Structure 1
Amino acid sequence: MSDHSVFNSTYHRAFLFDMDGTVLTSIAAAERVWTTWAVRHGVDVETFLPTIHGTRAIDTIRRLGLPGVDAEAEAAWITEAEIDDVDGVFEVAGAADFLKSLPAHQWAIVTSAPRELALRRMAAAGIPEPEVLVTAEDVTAGKPDPAGYKLAARRLGVEPAQCLIFEDATVGILAAEAAGADLMIVTATHEQPIETSHATLASYESVQVQVNAAGLRLHAI
């Protein structure tokens, strides 16, 4: 974790987590499904796949602007296919135990996945289901819009500025910044180094959380 001294002295009222790439990895499964879809629609797979991560399926499809495509119907197909395919969906090392160490009323997951898919992937990866789960259906604008993170903070009874957000993808980082929260970039699933001014976390096994009346404080071990 870089620049961890900042967080050693900072208490947060809640921790908010992205799901895919942050507490679990589903890259292989997602790319299998999206490759099938892209080939069917004549979309170049190599250039398209890097754009799917972190965003709602319907936003990804709409962004392509394909003529005659029903974005809602296609997004529903993607969701069903991803629910059926959880082969290779695993927790990010140490994530489950880290989440279990947090008070249940002080953390949430904010994902671009639909609720049914999010629950399926969390179960496959052994990630505990949070009391507050914000999914694609809960917002009208997905990441990089901060609506999901603002909603999660509100459901936990705190302000976004009182939260530490754990993210891995560019659109999620932009959403967290727009929400006005502190940000921790989880790099465990990154194949390439990321250039960022934010603190980074390579492993949940390298950190612990101190819990007291002031809130949650993350520190390196």
Structure 2
Amino acid sequence: MTAATRPGALLLDLDGTLVDTEPLHREAYRAFFASRGWDEPDLTLFTGRRAADVFEAVPGPWTGHDLEALAAEVVALVDDDAAPEPVPGAAALIAAAGRIGVPVAVVTSAGPSWVRRAEGPLTEIGHAETVVTAEDVVDGKPHPAGYLLACERLGVDAADALAVEDSPAGIVAALAAGVGRVVGVTTTHAADELSAAGASDVVPDLVGLAASLG
């Protein structure tokens, strides 16, 4: 990738994109719904989104409950001893961006405590210029607020940025923010789902992307 084609910024989702945490989250959701005696919905609804946002948008037995409290219950059920594995190429991608002077932002639907946990298996997250978490925005993905804030913090035009996401909700959010190129990673969703959401390219992991960045 030449200097002329390098992105102005690299905007990275966290769960399912940098670290393979979606299996942990799904187990927590399954335990949550079982503990409540509620029928388990399609868990892909929660991929890439804040739990409280999904509970608010989708009618169900949770309607009328304290949605933030329910979301906290889900987080509490994530196995404390489970260590998510980095997605192949994640560390190399962030390192490559650093070598060629491309600023990095992590844009996640998770809270700060989960980001700190992810820094264990992927210490390179700490090298990002900024991290936008669920607590930094009023509206979560698929709303573009997180990506807009990341670009504002980095001082870059969204149209010049490259975003990487594993969920349709995240892809929609990045595109709505005006991000010029959005790559989908098939760690959680099928390639056709990511393409349908608007991803310009779809890859199985981050290895090739890291190599192309430099």
How far off its partner does 1:133 sit? 0.2
Give 2:70's aligned amino acid.
E
Distance (Å, rounded) in 1 between the aligned partners of 2:150 and 2:90: 19
- Deviation per residue, 1:9-52 (Å, 9 max, x gap): 6332111011111111112210111111112333322x431211
Q: Which residue of 2 aligns with 1:13?
A: 8
The residue correspondences of 1:59-138 to structure 2 (distance < 5 A) are 59-65=53-59, 66-82=62-78, 84-85=79-80, 87-103=82-98, 106-129=103-126, 130-138=128-136
- Structure with bigger RCO (C-alpha 8 Å, 6+ apart): 1
Equivalent residue for 1:200, pick from 182, 199, 202: 202
Distance (Å, rounded) in 2 between the aligned partners of 1:19 and 1:127: 12
Distance (Å, rounded) in 1 between the aligned partners of 2:148 and 2:81: 29
**Cα 1:64–1:85, aligned 2, differ >3 Å: closer, same or farther?**
farther
3-state secondary structure, aligned to 1:39: helix
3-state secondary structure, aligned to 2:119: helix
Give 1:100's aligned amino acid.
A
- Please report the TM-score for the alignment, with normalisation by the length of structure 1: 0.81
Looking at secondary structure, tell me which structure has more strand per residue.
1
Q: Structure 1 stretch 134-143 or stretch 96-105: which is displaced more?
A: 96-105
Structure 1: state its 5+ residue gaps: 210-216
**Cα 1:203–1:36, aligned 2, differ >3 Å: closer, same or farther?**
closer
Distance (Å, rounded) in 2 between the aligned partners of 1:106 and 1:194: 30
Structure 2: state its 5+ residue gaps: none
Distance (Å, rounded) in 1 between the aligned partners of 2:80 and 2:57: 24
Distance (Å, rounded) in 1 between the aligned partners of 2:209 and 2:31: 39
How far off its partner does 1:192 sit? 3.1
- Please report the TM-score for the alignment, with normalisation by the length of structure 2: 0.84
Distance (Å, rounded) in 2 between the aligned partners of 1:136 and 1:80: 16
Q: CA RMSD in A?
A: 2.6
Equivalent residue for 1:50, pick from 27, 44, 47: 44
**Contact 2:29–2:74 (Cα < 8 Å) also in 1:** yes
How far off its partner does 1:148 sit? 0.2
Percent identical pairs in the alignment equals 32
Give 2:161's aligned amino acid.
C
**Total equivalences in the alignment:** 205
